[in-house]
Structure 1
Amino acid sequence: MLVFKNKADLATHLKPFWAARKSIGFVPTMGALHQGHLSLLDAAAKNNTVTVISIFVNPTQFNNPEDLVKYPRTLAADIQKIEKQNPAVVIYAPEVADLYRPNEKAAPFSFDGLEFQMEGKFRPGHFDGVGTVVKKLFEIVQPTNAYFGEKDFQQLQIVKKLVSKYKIPVNIVSCPIHREVNGLAMSSRNERLSDTERKDAALIYKTLQQVKLKFGTKSAKEVSDWVTKVFQNHQTFTLEYFEIADESTLKTCFRKSKNKKYRAFIAVFVNNIRLIDTISLN
């Protein structure tokens, strides 16, 4: 199991693969790994000569300093999970100083409006931080394929836009959401939930499943109003947003069109722990 703490050593290891034009699969993460992350590693390992995973809690994408402090950091446990899953995976686990200069801030990005929808409305500067760190990581690893889960669907679309606008030679592979037995989307933040909260949070995916059924016969506004009432009736939850949006532009759906693909997006607080989820409506 190879674990690199700095980009120079990682580059030395990867140079022979770059020179021979071998395929490199890359899974960028912020650690606290769960089965969803490991499924991305499986997909990468099956289709590439070498697989690299980064474990780095990126400070520039947190608009809430408290959330950054509380974000779980479990590097030793993460390494054990990876070694058990696939000891051939290469781990890049840098300190902040390996990626950022002192006092460096997120670079400003334009993602053609994708950054102003949903997460962008409630987390100012978040996608500048995402764009900054992903661009840095792509330049360091120089992957052939990079793997992202669909739970963070807006982030997935942002990364695709980043690659397109900056002509970064990497193929972005989207992978299905991994869920717990009760349907809750797997997330590193789930580790902060109590057993009761984790059980109750199954309501999020159950609601999305009902949204998919209702969207077939009801308008987007009617469905949105129904979702608002569902969470108003459950004091455990605070609904931050629910949106039905065009998959490609992420703009809110006001009137359905047969020629578009739609997706429902939701962000909910459970005792100050923020959970997101999404479902395709087509």
Structure 2
Amino acid sequence: MITTANIAEIRAQVKQWHMQGETVAFVPTMGNLHNGHITLVTEALKRADHVVVSIFVNPMQFGQNEDLDAYPRTLAADSDALINAGAELLFTPTPSIIYPKGLAQQTFVEVPNIGDEFCGASRPGHFRGVATIVCKLFNIVQADVALFGRKDYQQLMVIKAMAEDLSLPIEIIGIDTIREASGLAMSSRNGYLTAEQKQQAAAIKQCMDKLAADVACGKNIAESEAIAAETLVKAGFKMDYLSVRNATNLAPITNEDHNLVILVAAYLGNTRLIDNLTFSR
């Protein structure tokens, strides 16, 4: 696997593959890789001849009181895992490479509406940072397809909207959430949980399953949401949000909506966990 922080090297290698008539898939990450990330790589290999992965802890998407400095950097272990998974090119830029003029002078990308609620409201500026870095990485790597986990459902929708609105020549594919045996969605933030908290955190998936079943059989949505949120509070969580929405555009549900998504964010101790579940009624 080639590892480089040089933009020109990334572009040259991808251009060579394209000139040979070969396709390229891209998996952007912030490192500290778990099996969910590796699944994205293995799925990417099914869809393209070559896979490029980036590892970049993006300062633009972290708020003032968030854990940028504490975010785990595990490049050596990540590299070994990517080599074993079959990735061929790893892009590891620094903030000075990505934002040479500094964040205050950086042109940004902002997706309206779909990024305003939920994590957008809880973490002001977060999706601006996500859309900007993903747009930059797409322009640097110039892949044919990019893969993202559906665990970050709102983020995936923001990226899809950004790519469509800016006419970017890349296909965006969402891959199903990879879960631990308990049902807890795999996340780099799970590393902040104690063993006991990890078992507690399994309640999120159990709660979503129950809520989906209730809504699917016609129970009142607002009442079902309130019961689900109270269940999580009793299980030791501090709620950020819990909502059932249209799975296509995250709009409030109408009687005509059949494809739905449950969006959840809650704190367990100091760790903020997010999850989602799509279902039909």
The residue number in structure 2 matching 1:228 is: 229
The residue number in structure 2 matching 1:41 is: 41
Unaligned runs of 5+ in 2: none
- CA contact 1:52–1:92 (8 Å) conserved in 2: yes
**How many Å separate the matches in 2 of 1:118 and 1:17?**
40
**How many Å separate the matches in 1 of 2:205 and 2:232?**
12
Q: 1:59: how far off?
A: 0.5
Deviating beyond 3 angstroms after TM superposition, the runs of 4 or more aligned structure 1 residues are 105-110
1:279 aligns with 2:265: no
Q: 1:30: how far off?
A: 0.5
Q: 1:239: how far off?
A: 1.0
Please, what is the CA RMSD of the aligned residues? 1.5
Cα-to-partner distance string for 1:221-280 (whole Å, 9 max, x where unaligned): 01111012112313x311111011111221233xx4244421000001111111100001
The residue number in structure 2 matching 1:167 is: 167
Q: 1:15: how far off?
A: 2.1
Superposition pairs for residues 27-176 of structure 1, below 5 Å? 27-86=27-86, 88-105=87-104, 107-176=107-176
**How many Å separate the matches in 2 of 1:179 and 1:202?**
10
Report the 3-state secondary structure (helix = DSSP H, G, I; strand = E; otherwise coil) of the residue aligned with 2:68.
helix
The residue number in structure 2 matching 1:261 is: 259
1:198 aligns with 2:224: no
1:184 aligns with 2:171: no
**How many Å separate the matches in 2 of 1:248 and 1:111?**
15
- CA contact 1:61–1:127 (8 Å) conserved in 2: yes
The residue number in structure 2 matching 1:24 is: 24
Higher mean C-alpha deviation, range 27-36 or range 4-13? 4-13
Q: 1:65: how far off?
A: 4.1
Report the 3-state secondary structure (helix = DSSP H, G, I; strand = E; otherwise coil) of the residue aligned with 1:281.
strand
Q: 1:101: how far off?
A: 1.7
**How many Å separate the matches in 2 of 1:176 and 1:100?**
31
**How many Å separate the matches in 1 of 2:99 and 2:109?**
17
- CA contact 1:231–1:237 (8 Å) conserved in 2: yes
Q: What letter matches 2:223 in structure 1?
A: E
- CA contact 2:149–2:176 (8 Å) conserved in 1: yes
The residue number in structure 2 matching 1:238 is: 238
Q: What letter matches 1:104 in structure 2?
A: L
**How many Å separate the matches in 2 of 1:98 and 1:21?**
30
- What TM-score does the superposition give when structure 1 sets the normalisation length? 0.94
**How many Å separate the matches in 2 of 1:177 and 1:232?**
24
Q: 1:203: how far off?
A: 0.5
- CA contact 1:107–1:128 (8 Å) conserved in 2: no
Q: 1:110: how far off?
A: 4.3
Q: What letter matches 1:270 in structure 2?
A: L
Query: CA 1:99–1:179 in 2, change beyond 3 Å: closer, same or farther?
Result: same
**How many Å separate the matches in 1 of 2:165 and 2:20?**
27
**How many Å separate the matches in 2 of 1:51 and 1:109?**
25
**How many Å separate the matches in 2 of 1:92 and 1:7?**
8
- CA contact 2:110–2:131 (8 Å) conserved in 1: no
**How many Å separate the matches in 1 of 2:112 and 2:249?**
9
Of all paired residues, the percent bearing the same amino acid is 33
Query: CA 1:65–1:2 in 2, change beyond 3 Å: closer, same or farther?
Result: farther
Q: 1:84: how far off?
A: 2.0
**How many Å separate the matches in 1 of 2:186 and 2:51?**
22
Q: How many residues align?
A: 278
1:219 aligns with 2:220: yes
Cα-to-partner distance string for 1:163-183 (whole Å, 9 max, x where unaligned): 111110000111101000000
Higher mean C-alpha deviation, range 76-85 or range 10-19? 10-19
**How many Å separate the matches in 1 of 2:24 and 2:195?**
38
- CA contact 1:3–1:91 (8 Å) conserved in 2: yes
